[in-house]
Amino acid sequence: MVRTWLRVVALMAVFGGLASGAAAKDAVAAGGIAPPKLLVVVLIDGLPQEQLLKNYDLFVPGGIRRLMDQGAWFSDAHQAHAFTVTAVGHATILSGAYPYQTGIIGNSWKSREGKTVYNTADARYRYLDGTPTTDDDGVSPKNLQVSLLGDELRYANMNASRVFSVSGKDRGAILMAGRGGSAYMYSTKTGRFTSTSYYMEKHPAWWEEYYAKSPQNRWFGAQWNVLLDDARAYARALPEGQKAAVYHQMTSQMGYRYGTGETEPGPIYYRMLLPSPYGDEMTADFALALMRAESVGRNPKGVTDILTVSFSSHDYINHNFGPESVQSMDHLLRLDRTLARFFSEVESWAGRDRVLTVFTADHGFMNTPEFSAARGFDSTRIDPTDVRNAVSALAEKKFGLPKLVTQHMTGGWTLDYAAIDGKGLNREEVETFIARAAMAQPGIAFAFTRTQLERGDLPRHRVGVLAQRAWYQPSAVDIMVIPKPFHYFQSKNANPGSASSHGSPYSYDTNVPLLMHGPKWLKAGRYTRYVETVDIAPTLAQLLNVRMPSASEGRVLTEALVGR
């Protein structure tokens, strides 16, 4: 069932005149500066701040470099929570809230019964393009516990504003669209962006017309070679052929051909298209088609629309090859060119002085352990099962109970409290022993207990603060476990193509780009004061003259606001 209450409110707006020109005029007068007609929020999945600094001179004038030079650039911006992964990072951007309030504590987590819970799963809904939908696919924002900026914008003008979200990943689309927007996500089965029955009953006519021409097939047979002719430019990256780099059919050599193994576009090609520069082009093309077809930014009611686009490909590239690789560098340069075209077309459509653009990322990335070790750092992958088994053995010897540490999930472990209570043991005593045993294992820096977390009794250093923010009590771990810098959890049975990862509270994972562009609203300049991604939503709420999202804790970035 599509949200009937939204239809009722929409009818109220139409027949009650609540989104009338008069209401829009009053909103413009508030604060003395008219809000933008189009807010564009661009996220790059898995982009650390340092990659912008390293490659600044190679960016084209109209892409990322324009935002850095002509926009408000917050160069010490952070995803300020302990487990920096895609779903968690996306949920902070337009909510202004930390994971302990959003309820999104990972890409997935486990219930106490051991059932995996995917962050945007909802068995009541399905994909609209015929793609088979399982109970674990991302289709709705059910698990998101807070409102987003788009929800508040639509509330403020009785649904006259439109909110659209596009992403290569379902979580990247849904956790930016919220409850009142419309989300489109990429299907690796068909190569198309599709929506779900939560958002609409069927795709609009423009969607059918767009895919009647099969635009997703245009890169079949294309090769990925380096972009720049001058090989010296790539000296700042590791050369191709690194041992750690391999992903499905891809090798660590450049020149991979998309469509290998098929005579015509099919599932192999569609799966491999997203972890490529062409995945970004495809995402931009679809987002621009949606913008024009839905008249986003040309709202007939004169109010603000929101378009969010999450480019997912860079995350796959960094996982496969590491952020220090030539593949990562070349991919970012190609993405920059795609963004230059995207920004140009958006502003041409909506009006250059009517668009406010925000550019950020959901998380950063650590270097591959091999690269870090070569630089002299203690660095390795840690098998979480080995650590958990070692600690369980120590707990069994101490308390006489086997397998007290029942499972590993995002953020740490769950414990068998029934067994602990059944033997009459003190829970806090057992937790403390297990936490200390965990910290004695190779590669583990911190372990915090449920008792500590429930009391808010963590150390007040940065890791402790970020850990507390990441702990959502209803579905949280019992022992939070954090590895040392340059270490990360990776099962021995994991995909061998995962050369590197993210998910820690350390700066290489938390420090992300934050650029805002819109001369009517923002003063250009580099701002070096520490800021967080939760500051984005309250800042935008001020510029749009709307209520803060329900759990917003960020501060308004007043230092960059025109007239403030």
Alpha carbons 443 and 428: distance in angstroms, whole number:
24
pLDDT of res. 496: 56
pLDDT of res. 236: 96
Average pLDDT over residues 282-299: 98
pLDDT of res. 110: 85
Q: How confident is the model at residue 494 (pLDDT cuts 50, 70, 90)?
A: low
pLDDT of res. 321: 92
| pLDDT tens sequence across 68-111 | 999 999 999 999 999 999 999 999 999 999 999 999 999 999 88
**Residue-range domain boundaries for the chain:** 31-212+266-371+506-560, 380-485
Residues sharing a CB contact under 8 Å with residue 544, sequence separation 6 or more, in sequence order: 35, 36, 39, 149, 153, 156, 304
Q: How confident is the model at residue 485 (pLDDT cuts 50, 70, 90)?
A: very high
Q: What is the CA radius of gyration of the chain?
A: 24
Whether 23 shows a pLDDT value over 60: the answer reads: no
Whether 248 shows a pLDDT value over 90: the answer reads: no
Question: Any idea which of 107-116, 136-145, 176-185, 272-281 has the lowest mean pLDDT?
Answer: 107-116
Whether 244 shows a pLDDT value over 60: the answer reads: no
Residues sharing a CB contact under 8 Å with residue 476, sequence separation 6 or more, in sequence order: 105, 411, 450, 453
| pLDDT tens sequence across 312-330 | 999 999 999 999 999 999 9
Q: What is the DSSP string of 354-377?
A: GEEEEEEES---PPPHHHHHHTT-
Average pLDDT over residues 280-292: 98
Are 31-212+266-371+506-560 and 380-485 equal in CATH topology?
A: no
| pLDDT tens sequence across 180-221 | 999 999 999 999 999 999 999 999 999 999 999 999 999 999
Mean pLDDT of the chain: 92
Question: Any idea which of 242-256, 301-315, 425-439 has the lowest mean pLDDT?
Answer: 242-256
Average pLDDT over residues 14-30: 43
Alpha carbons 379 and 370: distance in angstroms, whole number:
7
Q: What percent of the chain has pLDDT over 70?
A: 92
Region 380-485: CATH code: 3.30.1360.150
Task: Please tell me the pTM assigned to this model.
Answer: 0.94
Residue 20: Cβ-neighbour burial (10 angstroms; 0-12, 13-18, 19+): middle
Cβ-count burial 266-302 (b if 16+ within 10 Å, e if not)? bebbbebbbbbbbbbbbbbbbbbbbbeebebbbbebb
Average pLDDT over residues 338-342: 98
Alpha carbons 475 and 421: distance in angstroms, whole number:
20
Residue 121 C-alpha from the chain's centroid: 16
pLDDT of res. 246: 57
Please check whether residue 241 is in contact with residue 252, taking contact to mean a CB–CB distance below 8 angstroms.
yes
Cβ-based neighbour number of residue 435 at 10 Å: 25
Whether 546 shows a pLDDT value over 90: the answer reads: yes
CATH of 31-212+266-371+506-560, one of 3.40.50.620, 3.20.170.30, 3.40.50.970, 3.40.720.10: 3.40.720.10
Alpha carbons 49 and 526: distance in angstroms, whole number:
13
Whether 247 shows a pLDDT value over 80: the answer reads: no
Question: Any idea which of 54-63, 362-371, 497-506, 512-521 has the lowest mean pLDDT?
Answer: 497-506
Q: How confident is the model at residue 253 (pLDDT cuts 50, 70, 90)?
A: confident
